[in-house]
Amino acid sequence: MTAQSVGQTEPWNDAVLAAAMIAVDPDLGGVHVKARAGIVRDRWVECVAACFGPEAPFRRIAAGISEARLAGGLDIGATLEAGRPVVERGVLACADGGLLVLAMAERLGPTAAGVIGMALDSGHVRTERDGVSARQAARFALVALDEGIDQDEALALSLADRLGLRIDLNGVGWRDTELLNQPYVIANARQLLPSVSVADDMVEALCAVALSVDARSMRASLHLMHAARASAALRGRSTVEVEDAAAALRLVLGLQPKSADTTDQPDDQPAPEAEQDEQPSEPSRNDSQTSSKDMPQDMLVEALDAIMPRHLLAGLEANGTVRSSRGLAGKAGAQRNRAKRGRAIGVADKPPSPGARIDVLATLRQAAPWQGIRAQGAVAATQSISRLHIRKDDFRYIRYREKTGTTAIFAVDASGSAAVERLGETKGAIELLLAECYVRRDSVALIAFRGKGAETLLEPTRSLVRAKRCLSALPGGGGTPLASGILATLAMASTMSSKGQTVVTVFLTDGRGNVGLDGTSSRERVADDTGKAAGLFRAAGFRSIVIDTAQRPQPRAEALARDLAAEYLPMPRGGSKAMAREIGARMEG
């Protein structure tokens, strides 16, 4: 098989090859599968299970699985019956020697990802909880089914780095799953794997590619070696060839073969003709069977370059790197640990908040090891004998973590002749931001200050219909009570922050306040009130942006931004789209 034919391998055949690889060499860690739920993914999982065989353990877990279920802990029923601590095996230990399938892997929490990652590294899982200490074997291959679409929905980087292979089944049709060019004999490949060798030149070439593509982790080089050796063993070879290296590059680094389009034909066609002029015909027929031991490193690099995207290896000579897409995790969002609802993240021996719920199972686990001693004490003290002896120190309470969004508070200067234009831009910006608020769980609010005070026109909301209704008739004209606007924004920001929201305040003004808190226009009073209000806002520490709405950048607006500890952004002709783009970027950051 030539390098060109290897580059034309179908995606489904690569997926089947990946399934066979992790069955032959569990040191690959597993496979990161990008695929939505459907018949293609189900057939591939069945293929992986078939490669492991019916005798191998097969376990499925969901992304919301707890640490106790993964690592195991105290078996309450057996402990109460035996009168001594009895350890219950977790899912990882039950999957020892087999396959573990993780559904919706992009939603896996960092704690669970850490437990699984440590088991992949060490081959065992250690239980240190509920008063028991145990170590159980947990050597398994992990299949992480990633259904994420957006960049924020990604497999945890700590876990993605430990999975050696990556495949994408989104472009595979169900008819393609019925075609398989080459079946693999797993048992023979497992026996051959220890004797498979890799030439030094091949190792150097593969490591060079790994460092060029993913310089953040050294695991990529190890995964390339394991994948190349597994590919050679599956094909019945005792030496890794260029074909095996090509398969490793596709499945480990995600490097796809070059497309045979018309633009590449002029560059690729003359090469075979030149080789035919320089080499005899008989050696050319044996090029695909040449051992990598007799091939210099430069020829290996050229052979690998023939099946990889153009100019990828050119970065090696220029010491350049290519950004890797392996397991990039998005923003986690604001979180509140002492919430009364949300996702359970563990237990506490004291109520984390008033009215906290009791974790019955955790309470029983805490009390179970002491039942024998407490029963004897109850008999000696001639107390009433009950089946369970629960004390106050045994109670355990559920800890929740609630994800919260961001609230953007617009404080708009609605005074003067420019009010109509500025308010129109603000309306457009708010409507554009609301279109993306539902996905990010963000809210927007609007405060307008004009005349002698500030007025809340739109309470924090994610409802686009409500926002348009409130924005349809905004008032304008009059003086500029800047201090009142700052204090009104501070009050709303404090309220939303107490609810666990991350607050971003946006002031749209030219910074020229002319009305004090008492409604007068005294310059000294206006300057004093504005300075005190800005000082209170600065002390609160809220993230803020001051958008200069003047025709030219004003020193007063820049000075106001310094007093508020805010970011200064002059946008005299920004428009609603530019304003929404700038604010949206800061809400995501």
pLDDT in tens, 454-467: 888 888 887 767 76
Q: Is there a single domain that holds both residue 502 and residue 533?
A: yes
**Tokens in use for 152?**
């924020």
In a domain, 318, yes or no: no
Report, in angstroms and rounded to the nearest whole number, the Rg of the chain calculated over CA atoms.
32
In a domain, 141, yes or no: yes
pLDDT in tens, 188-242: 999 999 999 988 888 888 888 888 776 567 888 899 999 999 999 999 999 999 8
Q: Is there a single domain that holds both residue 429 and residue 572?
A: yes
In a domain, 30, yes or no: yes
Q: What is the pTM of this model?
A: 0.55
Supply the pLDDT for residue 299: 52
In a domain, 326, yes or no: no
Supply the pLDDT for residue 373: 77
* Structural domain count of the chain: 4
Query: Domain span at residue 509?
Result: 406-588
Q: For tokens 């050679």, what's the residue?
A: 232
Those residues of the chain that have pLDDT short of 50 are 1-9, 257-297, 307-333, 417
Distances (CA, A) of 226 to 24, 26, 163, 304: 10, 9, 12, 17
Supply the pLDDT for residue 302: 56
Of 152, 184, 216, which residue sits at a domain end? 184
CATH code at 107? 3.40.50.300
Q: Is there a single domain that holds both residue 130 and residue 218?
A: no
CATH code at 535? 3.40.50.410
Q: Is there a single domain that holds both residue 385 and residue 247?
A: no
Q: Is there a single domain that holds both residue 249 and residue 384?
A: no
Q: Is there a single domain that holds both residue 372 and residue 513?
A: no
Other C-beta atoms lying within 10 Å of the C-beta of residue 100: 25
Distances (CA, A) of 566 to 122, 261, 502: 48, 52, 15
Burial of residue 348 (CB within 10 Å: 0-12, 13-18, 19+) is middle
Q: Is there a single domain that holds both residue 439 and residue 525?
A: yes
Q: Is there a single domain that holds both residue 451 and residue 355?
A: no
Supply the pLDDT for residue 519: 84
Whole-angstrom Cα distance, residue 238 to residue 193?
Answer: 8
Q: Is there a single domain that holds both residue 392 and residue 428?
A: no
Supply the pLDDT for residue 537: 93
Distances (CA, A) of 374 to 222, 384, 385, 564: 54, 12, 10, 61
In a domain, 310, yes or no: no
Of 138, 158, 184, which residue sits at a domain end? 184
In a domain, 291, yes or no: no
In a domain, 546, yes or no: yes
In a domain, 370, yes or no: yes
DSSP-derived 3-state class of residue 348: strand
Q: Is there a single domain that holds both residue 580 and residue 458?
A: yes
Q: Is there a single domain that holds both residue 228 and residue 361?
A: no
Is residue 309 within 8 A of residue 255, CB to CB? The reply is: yes
Q: Is there a single domain that holds both residue 104 and residue 226?
A: no
